[in-house]
Chain A
Amino acid sequence: MSGAELGARLRERDLGAAPAALNLLENRAPARRGEIAALLAEVAPRRLGGEAPAHVVGVTGPPGAGKSTLLSALVRVWRERGRTVGVLAVDPSSKRSGGALLGDRARIDADPADRGLFIRSMAAGERLGGLAPATRVAAQALAAAFDVVVVETVGVGQSETEVAEAADTVAVVVQPGSGDVLQFLKAGIMEVPDVLVVTKADLGAIAERAVRDLRAALRSLGDPAPVVAVSSVPPVAGIEELADALDERRARLDLRAARTRSRRLGALADYVAEHGERGLRALGGRRAAERFLAEQDAALEGPALVRALEARAAG
Chain B
Amino acid sequence: MRDNPHMSHRLPERDKPWMMRTYAGHSTAARSNALYRGNIAKGQTGLSIAFDLPTQTGYDADHELARGEVGKVGVPVAHKGDMHTLLDGIPLDQMNTSMTINATAAWLLALYIVCAEENGIDAAVLQGTTQNDIIKEYLSRGTYAFPPAPSMRLIADTVAYTVEHVPRWNPVNISSYHLQEAGATPVQEIAYAMSTAIAVLDEVRPRVGEDRMGAVFGRISFFVNAGVRFVEEHAKLRAMAALWEQLGRERYGVRDEKQLRFRYGVQVNSLGLTESQPENNVQRIVLEALGVTLGRNARARAIQLPAWNEALGLPRPWDQQWSLRIQQVLAYETDLLEYPDLFEGSKVMDGLVAQLLEGARAEMARVEEHGGAVDAVPYMKASLVESHRERIARIESGEQVLVGVNRFTETEPSPLTEDGGILVVDPAVEAEQIAALEQWREARDADAVRAALDELARVAGSDENIMPATIAAARAAVTTGEWAQCLRDAFGSYRAPTGVGAAAAGGRAESEDVMALREEVGRVADQLGRGLKILVGKPGLDGHSNGAEQIAVRARDAGMEVVYEGIRLTPAQIARSAVDEGVHVIGLSILSGSHRKLIPDVLDALRAAGAGEIPVVVGGIIPEADAEPLRAAGVAAVYTPKDFELTRILRDVVALVAERNGIAATA
**Interface core residue of A19, A96, A97 (most chain B CB under 10 Å):** A97
B463 within 8 A of A: no
Instruction: Give A271 Cβ to nearest chain B Cβ, in Å.
Output: 20
Pick the residue among A94, A118, A123 that contacts B505 (CB under 8 A): A94
Q: Which residues, 184 to 234 on A, are CB-close (under 8 Å) to B?
A: 233-234
**Which one of B147, B498, B556 contacts A99 once the chains associate, using CB atoms below 8 Å?**
B556
A interface residues, how many (CB within 8 angstroms):
37
Q: Does B518 contact A (CB under 8 A)?
A: yes
Query: A102 with B562: in contact, given A22-B582, A94-B557, A120-B582 (CB under 8 Å)?
Result: yes
A22 and B581 CA atoms in complex are apart in Å by: 9
Segment with Cβ contacts to A, from B2-10, B570-578, B636-644: B570-578
Contact partner of A98 (CB less than 8 A), chosen from B559, B563, B570, B572, is B559
Which residues from B are CB-within-8-Å of A100?
A: 531, 556, 561-562
Smallest beta-carbon distance A270→chain B, Å? 16
Measured between beta carbons, the chain B residues less than 8 angstroms from A112 are 570, 572-573, 575-576
Q: A32–B562 Cα gap in the complex (Å)?
A: 24
A106 vs B493: C-alpha distance in the bound complex, in angstroms? Answer: 12
Q: Assess whether B505 is in contact with A121, with CB atoms less than 8 Å apart.
A: no
- Decide: A104 and B529 in contact? CB cutoff 8 A: no
> Which B residues are in CB contact (< 8 Å) with A308?
none
| A99 and B580 form a contact (CB under 8 A) | no
Chain A residues, Cβ within 8 Å of B505: 94, 96-97
Instruction: Give the contacting residue for A234; candidates B491, B561, B566, B575; CB below 8 A.
Output: B491
B572 contacts A32, C-beta separation under 8 Å = no
Say how far B374's CB is from chain A's closest CB, in angstroms: 13
Answer whether residue A129 sits at the interface, using C-beta atoms and an 8 A cutoff: no
Candidates B491, B501, B518, B576; contact of A101 at CB < 8 Å: B501
Q: Which of B556, B563, B564 makes the CB contact (< 8 A) with A94? A: B556
Within 8 A of B (CB), among A80-133: 91, 94, 96-107, 109-110, 112-113, 118-121, 123, 125
> Is B378 interfacial (CB-CB < 8 Å)?
yes
Query: A48-72 vs B: 1/0 string, CB under 8 Å?
Result: 0000000000000000100000000
**Does A119 lie within 8 Å of B580, measured CB to CB?**
yes
Tell me the complex Cα distance, A22–B531, Å.
12
Cβ-defined contact, B582 with A99, below 8 A: no
Hey, what's the 0/1 contact readout for B477-497 against A, CB within 8 Å counting as 1? 000000000000111110101
Does B560 make an interface contact (CB < 8 A)? yes
Shortest Cβ distance from B540 into chain A, in angstroms? 15
Could you tell me the distance between the alpha carbons of A279 and B558 in the complex, rounded to whole angstroms? 33
B579 within 8 A of A: yes
CB distance from A120 to the nearest CB of B (A): 6
Kindly state whether residue B506 has any CB partner on chain A within 8 Å.
Answer: yes
Q: Which of A23-31, A166-174, A299-307 contacts B (4 or more CB under 8 A)?
A: A23-31
- Is B62 located at the chain interface by the 8 A CB criterion? no
- Tell me the complex Cα distance, A27–B528, Å: 8
Asked if B581 contacts A121 (CB within 8 A), the reply is yes
Cα(A106)–Cα(B147), bound, Å: 13
Choose one: B501, B506, B529, B572; the contact of A29 (CB below 8 Å).
B529
A106 touches B495 (CB 8 A): yes
CA distance A101 to B573 in the complex (A): 18
Per-position contact with B for A13-47: 1 when CB-CB < 8 Å, else 0? Answer: 00000111011001111001000000000000000
Band of interface residues on B:
35 or more
- Chain B residues within an 8 Å CB radius of A109: 493
Given A23-B530, A29-B529, A234-B491: A103 and B564 interface contact (C-beta under 8 Å): yes
Enumerate chain B residues within 8 angstroms of A123, measured Cβ to Cβ. 531, 561
Are A19 and B559 in contact, CB atoms less than 8 angstroms apart? no
Q: Does B500 contact A (CB under 8 A)?
A: yes
Nearest Cβ on chain B to A237's Cβ, whole angstroms: 12
Task: Give the nearest-CB partner of A91 in chain B.
Answer: B501
Contact A106 B497 (CB under 8 A): yes
The answer to whether B559 touches A99 (Cβ under 8 A) is yes
Contact B490 A234 (CB under 8 A): yes
Check: B565 CB closer than 8 A to any chain A CB: yes
Q: Given A102-B562, A104-B500, verify A234-B582 contact (CB < 8 Å).
A: no
B522 adjacent to chain A (CB < 8 Å): yes
Query: Which residues from 111 to 157 on chain A have a C-beta closer than 8 Å to any C-beta of chain B?
Result: 112-113, 118-121, 123, 125
Kindly list chain A residues whose C-beta atoms are within 8 Å of the C-beta of B563: 102-103, 121
By the criterion CB–CB under 8 Å, are B556 and A101 in contact? yes
Cβ contact of B498, chosen from A23, A91, A104, A125, cutoff 8 A: A104
Residues of A within 8 A of B110 (CB): none
Which of A20, A32, A120, A233 interacts with B147 by CB under 8 Å? A233
Q: How far is the CA of A22 from the CA of B582 in the complex (A)?
A: 8
How long is the Cα–Cα vector from A26 to B546 in the complex, in angstroms? Answer: 31
Contact present for B580 and A18 (CB under 8 Å): yes
* Chain B residues, CB < 8 A from A26: 529-531, 582
List chain A residues, Cβ under 8 A from B529. 26-29, 32
User: In the complex the two chains form, is B573's CB within 8 Å of A99's CB?
Assistant: no
Q: Does B656 contact A (CB under 8 A)?
A: no
B581 touches A99 (CB 8 A): no
Nearest CB on B from A284, distance (A): 33
Please tell me which one of the listed residues A19, A64, A96, A101 contacts residue B506 in the complex, with CB atoms under 8 A apart: A96
**Besides A94-B505, A98-B531, A99-B562, 16 other A-B contacts (C-beta < 8 A):** A94-B556, A96-B506, A98-B559, A100-B561, A101-B562, A103-B563, A103-B565, A104-B565, A105-B501, A106-B497, A112-B573, A112-B575, A120-B581, A120-B582, A233-B147, A234-B492
- List the 3 closest A-B pairs by CB distance, nearest first: A29-B529, A27-B529, A99-B556
- Where the two chains meet, the residues of A that have a C-beta atom closer than 8 Å to any C-beta of B are 18-20, 22-23, 26-29, 32, 64, 91, 94, 96-107, 109-110, 112-113, 118-121, 123, 125, 233-234
- Complex A-B: 7 CB contacts under 8 Å: A19-B581, A23-B530, A99-B559, A103-B563, A103-B577, A125-B531, A233-B491
